[in-house]
Amino acid sequence: MMRIVLGIEYDGSGFYGWQWQTHHRNIQQTLEEALSKIAQHKITVQCAGRTDTGVHALEQIVHFDTTALRDLQAWHRGTNTHLPPDVRVIWAQEAIGDFHARYRAIARYYRYTILNRTTPSALMRGRSTWCALPLDAHKMHEAAQILVGHHDFTSFRAQGCQSKSPCRRMYFIDVERIGEQVIIDLSANAFLHHMVRNIAGVLIAIGTGKQPVNWTQELLEVKNRRLGGVTAPPDGLHLAGVYYPKQYGLIKNPIFNKLPTDAQRFD
């Protein structure tokens, strides 16, 4: 038995999220069916983190076990020949040691992209969230810094979130303007359901001047999702990378250089 690790890129616009669903198009089923054709036996994949309907991935990490002897190009390029154009394997390698895509991850990195201009885009439709009101990225960045560290994120998780604990450690969160786009980059040991989209909704309200900069502090303290404002749309949300300990030999996104040296796996 061999364990293979893949980096996956997908446009989530045409999917009802990652997870298997009997009557809806989903990424997990799409990928497993393509891999099964290469392996010539049923493949089941494990991912680093499930994404919701409409959410994209710049680099989702998955692994699977197989008895099929194939070279890495078969798992990479061969699988792509059986995938639709909105899903792609971007690299493949053999797993080292006890690697597990979910349980060995130390940090996840998300990017939320906002198109900030008076007119929506025909080209970025579904890939970014449109905001017509002017956004002050400096105020958004300032407000975001209070979220860095270990906190109770009750005000920032979906009411139906099933996680046992609302506490997470935010490693970094940066907001910057690049032309007409405002980019929110954030990384934590794990994320609660809708946590990134709720944070984005709060920061957008601050950026437009509807709420003060200290609103993030108030929401952390009140621990009440009903006071946390709107959930931002999924269009601008991308799972951008996953970080693992060095011994697993996976390609490292340079943004993870921002992680603290004591970053540890979340259980």
**Active site (catalytic) residues:** 52
Question: What are the structure tokens assigned to 182, written together?
Answer: 């405002």
266 DSSP assignment: -
How many alpha carbons lie under 13 Å from residue 192 in its C-beta half-sphere? 24
Task: Please name the amino acid found at residue 60.
Answer: Q
Relative to beta strand 181-188, strand 167-178 is antiparallel
**What is the DSSP annotation of 102-165?**
TTT--EEEEEEEEEESSS--SSSBTTBEEE-S---HHHHHHHHGGGSEEEE-GGGS-TT---S-
Taking the CA atoms of residue 205, residue 208, residue 213 and residue 215 in that order, the dihedral angle to the nearest 10 degrees is -20
Question: What are the structure tokens assigned to 211, written together?
Answer: 């709420």
Query: Which residue's entry shows tokens 């979130």?
Result: 161
Question: What are the structure tokens assigned to 213, written together?
Answer: 């900069």
| Bridge partners (DSSP) listed for residue 65 | 3
Length of the chain: 267
